[in-house]
């Protein structure tokens, strides 16, 4: 690779696309050299769509031309709707380009599970076998050499980071997990705004959606099961009740996770012992912060940054473990994590371009 890695972006007109452009504009080792869109957006500047990028990223949006992108770029990031990467990613890989996909098309290893939850045929099973799930804290070694990264979903990132160390330590029962997550409305995407996300109806409200049917459920279960010491044991396979909530704010995810301890951890452990499990797993991780006992994550402490904050408590009355995590859904939950993966793929410092603190207040 050249000293300054050339990056292409397919699907630049959404929130994750604008965040990627912003992050890459200040990246010390990578440069966004091409960005694509469709329809009437072709020919416009990225800064026309996002005036916040004026003078920072004024690239002209082009139609998708995979041959041209392959000639220009070493890595292409896909920020597209579900199903669209199935055709594009295999072609780019065949042309020698490494791909980071922000959609769901290559996250689930079983194509039948993908088809069940996304109601789309999986037309690239061979490419699926090459994909690496891009959660750096758990798959760093595989990410470094991957041709295709399946960037995790925003909700799964928050839940897996919170619970996987406890699963790995055989400290919680894999079938007892409940995850309640609340996200800012930007998680729906820029093109998805309708009555349910219209300001007068959203403001001052708080609601659930996709109850018992959210598409991120199998991704959370897969990620947690992978952390188990014996993932082939049916009792170690995660079974998760996941409920998503919509917050009347722009961005951020706060997940509250509940689980029952295993028999060997059901007594004699206090909150400091439980926190130590998290701390041992994440003490060297640059973007996961395990909070002191008695402190809990807040969105204002992470929004605008690539950090995921985690706090833990034990309910002495029920014996349940409560793990709370917070992240920016557009950064650690999407574009920031994509840059973290890019850094690993290219051998850069993992924190390159991502060192900023949260925006507070």
CB-based contact 79:12 (threshold 8 Å): yes
Calpha distance 172→269 (Å, rounded): 12
Per-residue DSSP letter, 45: B
Calpha distance 156→190 (Å, rounded): 20
Other residues' Cβ atoms within 10 Å of the Cβ of residue 280: 12
Report the chain's terminal Cα–Cα distance, integer Å.
40
Other residues' Cβ atoms within 10 Å of the Cβ of residue 351: 13
Calpha distance 120→118 (Å, rounded): 5
For the chain, the C-alpha Rg in angstroms (whole number) is 20
- Give me 307's structure tokens: 């950090």
Calpha distance 313→293 (Å, rounded): 7
DSSP 123-145: --HHHHTTEEE--HHHHHHHHHH
154 in active site: yes
Residue of 154, 257, 265, 308 marked active site: 154
DSSP 62-121: B---HHHHHHH-SEEEE---TTSHHHHHHHHHHTT-EEEE-SSTTT-S-HHHHHHHH-S-
Q: Is 191 exposed, middle or buried (0-12, 13-18, 19+ CB in 10 A)?
A: exposed
Calpha distance 71→61 (Å, rounded): 17
Which residues are catalytically annotated?
154
């Amino acid at each position: 690779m050249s000293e300054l890695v050339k990056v292409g972006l397919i699907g630049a007109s959404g929130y994750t696309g604008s965040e990627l452009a912003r992050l890459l504009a200040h990246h010390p080792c990578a440069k966004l050299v091409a960005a694509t869109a469709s329809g009437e957006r072709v020919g416009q500047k990225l800064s026309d769509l996002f005036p916040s990028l004026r003078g920072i990223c004024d690239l002209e949006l082009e139609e998708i031309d995979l041959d041209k992108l392959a000639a220009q770029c070493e890595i292409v990031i896909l920020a597209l709707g579900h199903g669209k990467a199935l055709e594009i990613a295999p072609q780019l890989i065949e042309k020698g380009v490494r791909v980071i996909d922000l959609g769901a098309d290559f996250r689930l290893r079983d194509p039948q599970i993908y088809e069940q939850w996304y109601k789309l045929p999986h037309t690239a099973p061979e490419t699926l076998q090459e994909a690496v799930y891009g959660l750096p804290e758990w798959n760093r070694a595989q990410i470094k050499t991957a041709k295709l990264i399946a960037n995790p979903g925003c909700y799964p990132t928050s839940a897996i980071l919170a619970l996987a160390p406890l699963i790995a330590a055989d400290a919680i029962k894999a079938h007892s997990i409940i995850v309640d997550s609340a996200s800012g409305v930007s998680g729906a995407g820029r093109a998805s705004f309708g009555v349910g996300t219209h300001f007068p109806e959203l403001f001052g409200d708080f609601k659930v959606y996709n109850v018992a049917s959210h598409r991120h459920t199998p991704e959370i279960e897969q990620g947690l099961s992978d952390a188990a010491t014996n993932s082939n044991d049916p009792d170690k396979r995660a079974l998760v009740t996941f409920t998503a909530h919509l917050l009347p704010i722009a961005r951020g995810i706060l997940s509250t996770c509940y689980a029952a301890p295993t028999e060997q951890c059901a007594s004699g452990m206090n909150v400091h012992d439980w926190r130590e499990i998290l701390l041992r797993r994440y003490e060297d991780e640059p973007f996961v912060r395990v909070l002191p006992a008695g402190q809990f994550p807040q969105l204002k402490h992470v929004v605008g940054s690539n950090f995921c904050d985690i706090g833990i408590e034990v309910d002495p009355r029920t014996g349940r473990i409560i793990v709370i995590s917070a992240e920016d859904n557009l950064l650690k939950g999407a574009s920031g994590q994509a840059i973290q993966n890019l850094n690993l793929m290219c051998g850069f410092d993992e924190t390159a371009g991502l060192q900023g603190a949260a925006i507070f207040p």
